[in-house]
Amino acid sequence: MKRICSPEEAVRNIHDGASVMIGGFMCCGQPLRLVDALLAKGSKDLTVICNDAGYPDRGVGKLIVAGRVKTLIASHIGLNTVAGTKMGSGELAVELVPQGTLAERIRCGGAGLGGVLTPTGLGTEVEKGKRTVKMQDATFLLEAPLRADFALIKANITDYYGNSFVAKSAKNFNAVMATAARHTIVETDELVDAGSLDPERVVIPGVFINDIVAGGSHG
């Protein structure tokens, strides 16, 4: 069985300078209680890998506003004006990655692959500093895999072995991120006995989960 803990206990080992993947799309499917606990812990100089910069007053955006994030790897930052300001001033390093490429780079990291070939970004700023590969008369960018020290993910139902069901669009990034971190923490709305979760509903196998925080997300 996995360790069941409070949000504060779960993030205790997220040290200054750590790389952290945070699941969800904006605040849909984002582990808000874990993000708040990380904010309260005070860890700084973080590299955060997530879909977006969130909102200034909720979720990942709070970490950015508080100056805890040194580097952000995301597909867009448009909903958080503070992120744009910090990027412009040089306070926040931002690597913008096309959304599909971001998901594939994380998937590659979790699968132990050496990267992904994609035509997305050719001839744009995305191509700068990257290798191109020619195959079958087509040119592709070689995008490197992404991995992290920690992943904070969100589920709807989790059993005591960490097997997790994630509903609908909340699957965004949670499933792939669970596989691509050395230590994965799942925040779940409902914790159930082992064997009571239909195997057909398991989106994230428990083998990828280290710690479980039960009780769901709040603000």
- pLDDT tens digits along 95-122: 999 999 999 999 999 999 999 999 999 9
Using CA atoms, how far apart are residues 45 and 177, in angstroms rounded to an integer? 20
- pLDDT tens digits along 22-65: 999 988 999 999 999 999 999 999 999 999 999 999 999 999 99
Number of Cβ within a 10 Å radius of residue 165: 22
Looking up tokens 């499917």, which residue turns up?
A: 29
- pLDDT tens digits along 149-171: 999 999 999 999 999 999 998 88
Tell me if 71 sits within 8 A of 48, measured CB to CB. Answer: yes
Q: What's the whole-model pTM score?
A: 0.94
**Is residue 42 left, alpha or beta, with left meaning phi > 0 and alpha meaning psi from -120 to 50?**
left
Among 188, 49, 41, 155, smallest CA distance to 60 is for: 49
The token pair at 206 is 């428990």
In this structure, which topology does domain 3-114+145-214 adopt according to CATH? Glutaconate Coenzyme A-transferase (3.40.1080)
Residues near 89 by beta carbon (within 8 Å), at least 6 away in sequence: none
